[in-house]
Amino acid sequence: MSFAPTPQQMKQFKEEGYYISAPAFDAKMLAEVTKEFDRLHREVVEKAAATGEEKRIRLARLRPFIGEAHLKSDVLKEVVKAPVYTEACKALLGPDADLYYNQVVIKPPEQGMPFGWHQDTAYGPCEPMEYLTCWTAIGRAFVENGCVWIIPGSHKRGLLKHVRSEYSLDAVLEDEQGAIPVELEPGQVVIFNSLLLHKSGPNVSSEVRRAYVPQYHVSNVIEKATGQPHGDRFPVLRAGLRAA
């Protein structure tokens, strides 16, 4: 099965800032990834508990973001080169692309915390500014368990002002007009522009919400503030082919 974006998906990405893939991973792979997620989450909770820091413990339990996951899991190191990602990179970034950042994101049932409106670019402006975020549902993602919400077309506004809150970096918005939830089946990916406004709600369901969020950029990305190389810089595509 080809995961190259169709002409319609390419048009949607340009105009609305996102498109949604077909399920890209089978049940066996999703089970392997889930096992890795749970292992990494246990490790994060144990490390946080050892510090005795209340805020860190709360975040580890209720809204863990586990970065550089490709360095912590051989399974995820391979997953980041899956066709759904490399085909998107080839079509939207060009023949050479790197893993820019990647994280495991978990929302426990009935208590997983929300995350406010933001643009991913705001977390570390770089040159070039725009890159791909691939929000991947490892299990079902729906409104009640904290699926991602987006504002289609908001990538055209450019980089907005963001302010630091207690647990996140939030975009300054007058309203949420046009916002829609993106509910996904296991293995589906919503691929969006890093300037697209998005958020996620709390998990008020009885199901764990697991998402893997690899992000991709052209190779040799530079951090705007320092002029230094930036990101994970892990090759996934070279000359249009999967990197070795």
Question: pLDDT digit string (tens) for 81-106?
Answer: 999 999 999 999 999 999 999 999 99
10-22 pLDDT, tens digit per residue, is 999 999 999 999 9
More confident residue, 113 or 231: 231
Tell me what the pLDDT averaged over the chain comes to.
94
Examine residue 84 and state whether it is found in any structural domain, yes or no: yes
120: domain range?
A: 14-230
Cβ(186)–Cβ(180) below 8 Å? no
Examine residue 242 and state whether it is found in any structural domain, yes or no: no
Count of domains forming the chain: 1
Helix (H, G, I), strand (E, B) or coil at 43: helix
How confident is the model at residue 104, as a pLDDT? 97
Examine residue 243 and state whether it is found in any structural domain, yes or no: no
How confident is the model at residue 155, as a pLDDT? 98
Examine residue 110 and state whether it is found in any structural domain, yes or no: yes
We report the CATH number of the domain holding residue 147 as: 2.60.120.620
Please list, in sequence order, all residues whose beta carbon lies within 8 angstroms of the beta carbon of residue 151, skipping any fewer than 6 positions away.
Answer: 117, 176, 177, 178, 179, 180, 196, 197, 198
Examine residue 238 and state whether it is found in any structural domain, yes or no: no
How confident is the model at residue 108, as a pLDDT? 92
More confident residue, 229 or 149: 149
